[in-house]
Chains A and B, each alone.
Chain A
Amino acid sequence: MIDFELDEGQQELAAGARGLFEQAGGITLARELLEQGGGWSRDLWARMAALDWAGLLVPEAHGGSGGGVLDLYAISVETGRALVTSPLIPSSVIAAHVLTAGGTRAQQADLLPRIASGEAIVIPAVLEPSGAWDEGGVETTLDRGPDSLRLSGTKVLVPFAADADRLLVAAREDDGVTLVLVDPAAPGVTVAPVDNVAGLPLSTVVLDGVVAAPADVVGTPTEGWSLLAPAFARGAVLRSAEIAGAGQRMLDLSVDYAKERVQFGTPVGKHQAVQYLCTDIAMESHLTALLARRAAWLLDVGQPADRAVAAAKLYASRAAHHMAQQAHEVFAGLAFMMEHDLHLFTRHAKHWEHDLGDVRHHAEALVQAVEAEIP
């Protein structure tokens, strides 16, 4: 029977995540991580992994719990609501999906159980200084020698690079893209953290003739993008879920304030201009959730999802900024000060807006999906 709601198990997962994140400090933890630097809590990540969340997309044969994208959706709405930064999406979703679909037996045996347990962090390093999220944006070079290959190039905005056990590097080979596992401690790899709006652990990774073995190649050489694309789709949907969760929290903050704050002798929430701001946030957070949830379901049941994924992330990317902007208009000067919580959401929203495909990227992907449907 048609049902747009999460099932009971997923709702329990969401409730569990909300409880854990509140107990771990909620937004106060996000503030500490911003002010003290570092941007994420290994301790909280270990507690998430202990609940098997890091292995949700890993097959049970490799130590995972064999869940689906909707399970991760339920958790991601809550990571968004509580501003929890973790390797869940890059490592446990994107890298796990790529390795499960295309890794060698040795790579799977080595990495998947450790990804599932949260011990190992494997991070895709794909985006380059052009900022293009498609295959054409990969310019890092790959030169093959008799027994080894060499990688040179620059990867930007790589999350958790300093803490990663492996980077999953996308490199250009002939007309395609080849994926290679690289140890960030290998000679020739430089990891330089970059200052960013959200205070997230993002780094520039320079690869200068880094040597890798043929056994480190994941999937068929030159066909790496076909492994990466479906993994990115899952990641983009889950980022959208985070935006939805953050939007719900920004809505609660804004509505509560608009009811209490009195100016001109009346609560500001009585003014229709302020009501418009609040209804904007309500609509956009709700629709972001619906679009992401439908895309997650399509991915889980294996139906064509390109159009739904692109629409979900395009809408979410725009909503990420706009919901934060509207909330700031409600709070005016108050939320411009560091002591207020809203700016923590605003900062994360800027990262989520661009991560795993910005508006420009998904607009083009969406039109291509539409063209493909029309004979």
Chain B
Amino acid sequence: MDLTFAPEQEAWREEVRAFLAAELPPDFDWDSEYNEDEEGWDFAFEFTRRLGAKGWIGLTWPEEYGGLGRPAIDNFILWEELVAANAPIINHIGFGLAAAALLGGGTHEQKLQFLPGIARMETFWAEGLTEPDAGSDLASLRTTARWTGEHWVVNGQKTYTTWGTHADVLYLAARTDPDAPKHRGISIFCLDLKAPGVSFSPLHNIAGGRQNHTYFDDVIVPADHLIGELGRGWDYIMGSFYTGGPMGGADREMDHRIRQLVRWARTATRYGRPLLEDPYVRERIAELTVMTEVARVMSYEGLSNFLHRRPPVFAGAMGTVVAKEAKPRFGQLTSEIVGPLGQVRGDAPVAPLRGMPAEWWLRGINNHAGGTPQVKRMVMATRGLGLPR
């Protein structure tokens, strides 16, 4: 057992930290899922482009596809630091889902076509998986892509399209073979969101971000915008959910929030004493810290399993279950620590920590992306423990 990073890895961590310290204001906190303010979006675009200019978006990808060919552990470290600094990185669908599908199943030509643009943040991707009748049961999706002999023609509807109106292209899952079994007839495409026949209707989420219904009316997709192999879309979707390379940092975000809370609770007073001396508050800080330690060991175990080619535990579902069950609890415990003013948003003078506790709590309610914790429990029970389906 060894959890020590090598000296060159620590040096890399320092390089990332120095970059972030120069690029971001201290205690920066902005999240692309919960904001529509133009200033924040402009800043996030600019920041992500700078990251891309350094080659860090495609850090582990081969150089010919716009990457730097660095080892997976460097990407883990990069993400630990990005998350610790609340870096406003955008395009998770691009460098996460789309790149994973391309690297796992794409041809050389497809990789050359799409990856460099993602690595430099030239194409911003939105997610086109979920449909009104295909949420947890994603494989029942009904959007179709029909081959005309020249190109694909897409019809149907996606929903909860986060970032849709900011994005250039859509990571689209569509049914290409209506006669194939449910999981087999799905393919992945890159769909131009500016193409004729694409329209949106807004869905405003409760934290202030805009998501969308996205409609396709005879939208033409060129033949070379198929990603990976025809009919293997389900494998790519599952592959990116369960076996994507480890990205560190879940613990770092919680750590950062605990530090902010503790500093504040040292001076803020209630019931005639600093909050930090209140046993009720101390007990909750202990709970938050245990959740952070749990996230930390899961993060390191994931990295270790990846590096040593060991399969993830319990069919890869445990990490998601734990993280998703922790998230709302973290938000609520924070709210209980902060007290009545934890409902105040924005930077009103009475708002503790610039209103961030209210945002953290609201984000805890956003716990469904990629599957609800209940669905992940079912996966863990059946595939991980072998209980009957």
Q: Are A282 and B4 in contact (CB under 8 A)?
A: no
Residue A127 at the chain B interface, CB threshold 8 Å? no
Within 8 A of B (CB), among A254-311: 255, 258-259, 266-267, 269-270, 272, 274-276, 278-279, 282-283, 286-287, 290-291, 293-294, 297, 301, 307-308, 311
Which residues in B have their C-beta under 8 angstroms from that of A4? 1, 3, 297, 300-301, 303-305
Q: Are B1 and A311 in contact (CB under 8 A)?
A: no
Within 8 A of A (CB), among B251-299: 258-259, 262-263, 276, 282-283, 285-287, 289-290, 293-294, 296-298
Of A270, A297, A307, A315, the residue contacting B294 (CB under 8 A) is: A315
Query: Please, how many angstroms separate the alpha-carbon atoms of A291 and B305 in the complex?
Result: 16
Residue A314 at the chain B interface, CB threshold 8 Å? yes
Q: Are A370 and B321 in contact (CB under 8 A)?
A: no
Q: Are B378 and A367 in contact (CB under 8 A)?
A: no
Residue A217 at the chain B interface, CB threshold 8 Å? no
Number of chain A residues whose Cβ lies closer than 8 Å to a Cβ of chain B: 47
Residue B241 at the chain A interface, CB threshold 8 Å? no
Number of chain B residues whose Cβ lies closer than 8 Å to a Cβ of chain A: 49
Query: Please, how many angstroms separate the alpha-carbon atoms of A32 and B4 in the complex?
Result: 45
Which residues in B have their C-beta under 8 angstroms from that of A315? 290, 293-294
Query: Please, how many angstroms separate the alpha-carbon atoms of A275 and B321 in the complex?
Result: 13
Query: Please, how many angstroms separate the alpha-carbon atoms of A259 and B321 in the complex?
Result: 22
B282's nearest neighbour on chain A, judged by CB, is A367
Within 8 A of A (CB), among B284-332: 285-287, 289-290, 293-294, 296-298, 300-301, 303-305, 307-308, 310, 313-314, 318, 321-322
Given A259-B387, A278-B385, A282-B314, A272 contacting B378 (CB threshold 8 A)? yes
Residue B5 at the chain A interface, CB threshold 8 Å? yes
B contact patch SS: helix
B301 to chain A, nearest CB (A): 5
Residue B83 at the chain A interface, CB threshold 8 Å? no
Query: Please, how many angstroms separate the alpha-carbon atoms of A363 and B308 in the complex?
Result: 34
Which residues in B have their C-beta under 8 angstroms from that of A195? none
Residue B381 at the chain A interface, CB threshold 8 Å? yes
A321 to chain B, nearest CB (A): 15
Query: Please, how many angstroms separate the alpha-carbon atoms of A311 and B263 in the complex?
Result: 21
Of B276, B303, B384, the residue contacting A282 (CB under 8 A) is: B384
Query: What does the 1/0 interface line of A85-109 toward B look like (CB < 8 Å)?
Result: 0000000000000000000000000
B306 to chain A, nearest CB (A): 10
Of A7, A259, A367, the residue contacting B386 (CB under 8 A) is: A259
Given A279-B380, A282-B318, A297-B1, A307 contacting B298 (CB threshold 8 A)? no
Q: Are B3 and A364 in contact (CB under 8 A)?
A: no
A146 to chain B, nearest CB (A): 44
Q: Are B381 and A287 in contact (CB under 8 A)?
A: no
B232 to chain A, nearest CB (A): 30
Residue B2 at the chain A interface, CB threshold 8 Å? yes
Given A2-B4, A5-B1, A286-B314, A364 contacting B301 (CB threshold 8 A)? no
Residue B377 at the chain A interface, CB threshold 8 Å? yes
Residue B119 at the chain A interface, CB threshold 8 Å? no
Most buried by B among A4, A259, A267: A4
Of B2, B259, B321, B378, the residue contacting A1 (CB under 8 A) is: B2
Query: Please, how many angstroms separate the alpha-carbon atoms of A201 and B382 in the complex?
Result: 41
Which residues in B have their C-beta under 8 angstroms from that of A332? none
Of A7, A266, A282, A367, the residue contacting B1 (CB under 8 A) is: A7
Of A307, A312, A362, A363, the residue contacting B282 (CB under 8 A) is: A363
Given A278-B387, A371-B262, A290 contacting B301 (CB threshold 8 A)? yes
Residue B358 at the chain A interface, CB threshold 8 Å? no
Which residues in B have their C-beta under 8 angstroms from that of A5? 1, 304, 308, 310
Given A286-B314, A371-B276, A297 contacting B3 (CB threshold 8 A)? yes
Query: Please, how many angstroms separate the alpha-carbon atoms of A73 and B80 in the complex?
Result: 28
Given A286-B313, A315-B290, A370 contacting B258 (CB threshold 8 A)? yes
Query: What does the 1/0 interface line of A237-263 toward B look like (CB < 8 Å)?
Result: 000000000000001000100110000
Query: Please, how many angstroms separate the alpha-carbon atoms of A83 and B7 in the complex?
Result: 42
Residue A3 at the chain B interface, CB threshold 8 Å? yes
Given A282-B380, A286-B314, A364 contacting B387 (CB threshold 8 A)? no
Residue B388 at the chain A interface, CB threshold 8 Å? yes
A308's nearest neighbour on chain B, judged by CB, is B293
Residue A70 at the chain B interface, CB threshold 8 Å? yes
Q: Are A293 and B259 in contact (CB under 8 A)?
A: no
Query: Please, how many angstroms separate the alpha-carbon atoms of A126 and B175 in the complex?
Result: 68
Most buried by A among B6, B282, B290, B313: B290
Q: Are B1 and A3 in contact (CB under 8 A)?
A: yes
Query: What does the 1/0 interface line of A185-202 toward B look like (CB < 8 Å)?
Result: 000000000000000000
Which residues in B have their C-beta under 8 angstroms from that of A275? 377-378, 381-382, 385, 387
Query: Please, how many angstroms separate the alpha-carbon atoms of A7 and B387 in the complex?
Result: 31
Query: Please, how many angstroms separate the alpha-carbon atoms of A83 and B362 in the complex?
Result: 45
B384's nearest neighbour on chain A, judged by CB, is A282
Given A282-B385, A293-B1, A366 contacting B290 (CB threshold 8 A)? yes
Which residues in A have their C-beta under 8 angstroms from that of B126? none
Query: Please, how many angstroms separate the alpha-carbon atoms of A307 and B290 in the complex?
Result: 9
Which residues in B have their C-beta under 8 angstroms from that of A314? 286, 290
A229 to chain B, nearest CB (A): 18
Of B290, B297, B386, the residue contacting A294 (CB under 8 A) is: B297
Within 8 A of B (CB), among A1-52: 1-7, 10
Residue A337 at the chain B interface, CB threshold 8 Å? no
Which residues in A have their C-beta under 8 angstroms from that of B318? 282-283, 286
Of A270, A286, A301, A364, the residue contacting B388 (CB under 8 A) is: A270
Residues of B within 8 A of A (CB): 1-6, 73, 258-259, 262-263, 276, 282-283, 285-287, 289-290, 293-294, 296-298, 300-301, 303-305, 307-308, 310, 313-314, 318, 321-322, 374, 377-378, 380-382, 384-389
| Nearest 7 Cβ contacts at the A-B interface | A275-B381, A363-B286, A4-B304, A311-B293, A290-B297, A269-B387, A270-B388
**Contacts A/B (CB < 8 Å), 16 sampled:** A255-B387, A266-B388, A267-B388, A274-B387, A276-B381, A278-B387, A279-B314, A279-B384, A287-B294, A287-B297, A287-B322, A308-B293, A311-B294, A362-B286, A367-B282, A374-B259
Residues of A within 8 A of B (CB): 1-7, 10, 70, 251, 255, 258-259, 266-267, 269-270, 272, 274-276, 278-279, 282-283, 286-287, 290-291, 293-294, 297, 301, 307-308, 311-312, 314-315, 362-364, 366-367, 370-371, 374
Supplied contacts A275-B385, A287-B294, 9 more A-B pairs, CB within 8 Å: A2-B300, A5-B308, A259-B388, A269-B381, A290-B298, A297-B3, A362-B286, A363-B282, A370-B285
